[in-house]
Structure 1
Amino acid sequence: MSGSSGGGDPLRRLTKLLARLPGIGEKSALRLALAIVRSDDEYSRALSEAIADVHEQLRLCSACCDLTAQELCSICLDPRRDPQLICVVAQPQDRMALERASVFAGRYHILHGVLDPLGGIGPSELKVAELLARLEGMSSLPDNQRIREVIVATSPNVEGDATALYISKLLHPLGINVSRIASGVAVGGELEYADMTTLHRALEDRRVI
């Protein structure tokens, strides 16, 4: 195998790059790197192309800010989704968790993070302005297409709660009902790891904020 630009041991370089991924430690990174080394050429090429395609083709949906290869994602284009319900989540993986559980039939808005002042993440680092622009742009639509409720489904921890409260304060002047998922999701837990029953209960028992 030929090394890429930068020189050095290609296995060590690949291991270091893999170890930078969330949840991947040095030992796991080494196992993954060795698995790639031992794979056939076809798999290695396909993996390399898939990584390149993610960077070249994925963009943010112009409506909900989810990741998509098109101008609008498949959920925003789906006429079967309830256009009057928007579920606000922190990350794309949270939306994926809700979709796997089949507990929500409306549309989404992805913030790409939560408020974390200590970590240097404020409102300008999130897709909050895009949410406001989206909701304000619906004021001219017929009543049956206007948003009747925004459900804030950020994880039930300090950052998630602060984000939910901030969004609630922004949206109340627009006359939109804002609710928060119930504590079916364990306090301090992450939404993406919740099971289907818990997610269903959290949405069904949501409360106004």
Structure 2
Amino acid sequence: MSNSTDIDALIELMAKLPGLGPRSARRAVLHLIRKRALLLTPLADTLAIVAETARECLNCGNIGTTDICDICRSEKRANGELCVVEDVADLWAMERSGVFKGRYHVLGGTLSALDSIGPDELRIPRLVNRVATEAVSEVILALNATVDGQTTAHYIADQLAGRVRLTSLAQGVPIGGELDYLDDGTISAALNARRDV
């Protein structure tokens, strides 16, 4: 164990990050210290900048450094498609794929009666307003295939019924997936969403 309270504090903070436990945090901190000039100093500088400048987009809820994110400002993205996701990590995953060329709406979670999360705790009223005021022709519900995700999708579908075309992501067997390793729900969704060959 280190003998510096500052280093111990850094290890404790790193251990709070997703995917890092105390042992992984110690290894990461030790690596950062050993590569101080190459990694630690630039990381500290960048963390300070991001802590000062990061903010949620006032329009969609994405994280960026301006009040309106680059995606919402881009006229090329104004194609009438609005993809609804649970959180920013889902938006970033969609962007990594490079397939979707429209705009997004981040809900900030899902409806959950157990956690007392209703529509007003999420950005659902803002979504309904965007559909009414922007030139939205299709809302794509890209929510997780969980009970709360599906409940949220049904609620949004009810709120937007008759106003706009509503679609959802296909669900089923992933590329490279083997049937023997899939759960019953995934196999059922894949069978129900089958298509002609």
Q: CA deviation at 1:83?
A: 3.1
List aligned pairs for 1:85-124, cutoff 5 A: 85-124=81-120
Mapped pair 1:128 → 2:124: yes
Structure 1 residue aligned with 2:165, among 171, 177, 185? 177
SS at match of 2:84: strand
Structure 2 residue aligned with 1:44, among 37, 40, 43? 40
CA-atom RMSD, angstroms?
2.4
Amino acid at match of 1:122: G
Q: CA deviation at 1:167?
A: 1.3
Regions of 4+ moved over 4 Å: none
List aligned pairs for 1:1-209, cutoff 5 A: 9-41=5-37, 43-138=39-134, 146-172=135-161, 175-184=163-172
Q: CA deviation at 1:164?
A: 0.9
TM-score by length of 2: 0.77
Structure 1 unaligned spans of 5+: 139-145, 187-201
Structure 1 Cα separation of the partners of residues 6 and 14 of structure 2: 12
Aligned pair in 2 of structure 1 residues 46, 101: CA closer, same or farther (>3 Å)? same
TM-score by length of 1: 0.73
SS at match of 2:75: coil
SS at match of 1:117: coil
Structure 1 Cα separation of the partners of residues 26 and 20 of structure 2: 10
Aligned residues between the structures: 174
Q: Report Cα offsets for 1:83-111 as digits up to 9, x if no partner.
A: 31100011222112212212212111111
Structure 2 Cα separation of the partners of residues 31 and 46 of structure 1: 18
Structure 2 Cα separation of the partners of residues 71 and 111 of structure 1: 17
Return the structure number with greater relative CO, CA threshold 8 A, min gap 6: 1
Structure 2 unaligned spans of 5+: 175-189
Structure 2 Cα separation of the partners of residues 27 and 120 of structure 1: 35
